[in-house]
Amino acid sequence: MSGREESAQLLEFFTLAFMRPTEEWVKEIESLLEKVRERWPQSDLRVEDPHLMNQEYVRLFRFGKDIPSPLRIGI
């Protein structure tokens, strides 16, 4: 695999990693993780409980008044 192909897969992985977890997301990320494990067998990347991951996504990326954050976005 060329350096460009590896870079493209890595970027695709990080693009998916910051998306909200869904059933389709789990399938896509698992497929990418297999490729990562083939390239870096020592890596310990895995998908935990998607429901808990979704809760954490909401906690991290929602912009509510009760979330301590230096960034406030008003809508």
Residue 39 lies in a domain: yes
Residue 43, domain member (yes or no): yes
Domain membership of residue 73 (yes or no) is no
Expressed as residue numbers, the domain containing 32 is 3-61
- CA 10, chain centre distance (Å): 11
Q: Residue 57 corresponds to which amino acid?
A: Y
Q: Is residue 72, in this structure, part of any structural domain at all?
A: no
Q: pTM (2 decimals)?
A: 0.55
| Number of domains comprising the chain | 1
The verdict on residue 66 lying in a domain is no
Per residue of the chain (75 residues), give pLDDT as tens: 678 887 887 788 788 888 888 888 888 888 888 887 887 788 777 777 888 888 888 878 776 556 555 545 554
What does the chain come to in residues? 75
Count the Cβ atoms, other than its own, within 10 Å of residue 32: 19
